[in-house]
Structures are given as structure tokens and as C-alpha cells.
Amino acid sequence: MRLIGCGDSWCWGSELVDTIEEPIPIMNYPSGGFERHDKPVNIAHRLKHRYLNIFADKIGATEIVDLSRPSRSNDSIIRVLIEWLVNEGYTSGRDTSDLFITIGWTSPERREFYYKEKWGVDNWLEFGPWSMDQKHRNPDLDTFMRLYFDNFWNEGEFLHRWILQIWQTEMMLKKYNIKYVMHQAFYHHHTKMIAQWDDVEYKKKFTAITQADKTLWESIDPIKFMHKDDPEIGTMHNYILSKDKDVFIVFHPNEKGHAFWADYMYNYCVRNKLL
């Protein structure tokens, strides 16, 4: 079985580093410390302890295709998945019976923009609440981000886009008879630390969605989207926090948090016959 992992930094395993090599949490460094992920000892540690690899071992996956990346938006998650499926021939007749896709949707307000110059590995520039705290190499981007945040960043837009993305992804995967499970990793509260994030508070914004959005939301499979309407669990964030209060490093789950989620997702998939 080929396991395809889609998501942002929570799927990728940000901050999972060898604590002997890195006694200080890397996100406490002024630069964010992300370059420290590239040390061989930290790569090995991350791949051993993140939920994607633990889940892969539990289901006996013969290959992991990691499509996750830190700071990904849901725009990016669905774009990269579609490109991969097309390039691998799964949309043009290739047998999909060997595939299992897991998607950890990120917070809805994130998005991406195609920039005229290469930005990192490609031309896609991610936008999220953190963008207001950054200085970009082109000052025009700082102005653009500020204008977008002040004038276009609102629940009516990003909640509609989020629901539509989930619905479109589900329709595509069902069309090609691809097995999958998806979950909401978290909802981002920019002014609070991670352990104080409150999904119930965030969901109060859902009043901004239209009746059409509600209709799409209600049509999304409540089994293959884990705990879609569960007010108590709802997200990976809520679940691991319910298991133990010590499940985060700075802004990401620690080894214990990843292990909790891998175990839970595996048992959930077995119980609901999704594999």
C-alpha cells in the first residue's frame, strides 16, 4: 500500500528534533530555528516520531509519499495532491487500489498566492496570520499582505473556500475510488498560545457561511472526515490535548502528541473499515 500524507507542519513533523542535539526548542530561536530540521540526526528523529510514519507502520504501508510541508495552506494541500495524482497517472486509468490518502487540513484562513519570482522551492507564497509579523524581501509584498489582511481577510471568504476545498477533494477521491481519511488538524488563534486555542470559540465564526456552504458541509462524509461535527473532539489539536496536557513543544505536537494521534487514527480507520 502507498500511503500519501497531505498537510502542513503538523503532518510534516515540525519541531520534532533530537533533544540531545537540540536542548532548546528550535522555535525559541530568533530565526525560528527551522534550518536545524536539516541535520541528519534531526531528520531521523522526525521521521521516526511523526504520526505519518507511525501510522504507516501500523497499516503496513510499503511506501510513504510525503506531500506535506510547513506553512501549507489548504489551497496548497489540494493543489499539490491533484498535481501528484495527475502526474502519477491515477486520474487517467492507473489502478488506485494500492493508495490510501490521509489529509490533515490546516486552519481555514491560510491561503497561497502565485508570485512572479521563485519563492523557496516554487513560485507559491503562503499567507497566514504570521505574515503580519514578517518582513519580505520585496517591500511591496509587505504592503500587499497588509492590504489583504485589512480588506479581504474575513470569515465569509475563507470559510467558504475551506468548505469548498474539502467538498471538491472528497468528490475527486470518490470519483477515482481512492481510499482516504481526513481530519482538521487545528484552528489557528493568532493571539493565543497553542494550549489555549479553543475550537468552540473559533467555530462561532461559522455563522458567516451561507446556506449553500451549509449544504455542502452537510454533504461531506462524516466518517471519512474524522469528527466533522463533534463539538468535543473536532480536531487533532483537541484530541491530543484531551489525552494529556503535555503534548506540545512550542507551536507543534511533541512525540507524545504524534503517537496519540497515530494510534487514534489507526484505530478509527480499522473501526470504520476505511483501510
pLDDT at position 122 over 80: yes
Give the tens place of pLDDT for each residue, 129-163: 777 777 888 888 889 988 988 898 888 889 999 99
**Most confidently modeled of 14-28, 73-87, 179-193, 205-219?**
73-87
Q: Which three cell numbers stand for residue 243?
A: 489525552
Query: Alpha carbon of 62 to those of 4, 175, 262, 270: distances in Å?
Result: 11, 24, 17, 18
Cβ–Cβ < 8 Å for 9, 187? no
pLDDT at position 188 over 90: no
pLDDT at position 202 over 80: no
Q: What is d(CA 31, CA 161) in angstroms, rounded to the nearest whole number?
A: 31
Cβ–Cβ < 8 Å for 208, 155? yes
Note the Cα 175 to chain centre separation in Å: 23
Give the tens place of pLDDT for each residue, 106-119: 999 899 999 988 88
Cβ–Cβ < 8 Å for 220, 166? yes
Mean pLDDT computed over 175-204:
80
Q: What is d(CA 79, CA 22) in angstroms, rounded to the nearest whole number?
A: 34
What is this structure's pTM? 0.93
Note the Cα 202 to chain centre separation in Å: 17
Q: What is d(CA 175, CA 195) in angstroms, rounded to the nearest whole number?
A: 38
Q: Which three cell numbers stand for residue 68?
A: 506535506
Q: What is d(CA 12, CA 148) in angstroms, rounded to the nearest whole number?
A: 28
Select the more confidently predicted residue: 187 or 188. Answer: 187
pLDDT value at residue 264: 97
DSSP label at residue 251: S
What is the average pLDDT value for the chain, to the nearest integer? Answer: 91
With b meaning 16 or more CB within 10 Å and e meaning fewer, what string describes 181-194?
bbbbbbbbbeeeeb
Cβ–Cβ < 8 Å for 68, 76? no
At residue 146, what are phi and psi to the nearest 5 degrees?
A: -65, -45
H/E segment holding residue 4:
strand 2-6
Give the amino acid at 160. Answer: H
pLDDT value at residue 189: 66
Domains of the chain, first to last: 2-109+153-271 (3.40.50.1110)
H/E segment holding residue 95:
none
Mean pLDDT computed over 34-55:
95
**DSSP notation for 31-91:** T--GGGGGSHHHHHHHHHHSHHHHHHHHHT-SEEEE---TT--HHHHHHHHHHHHHHTTTT
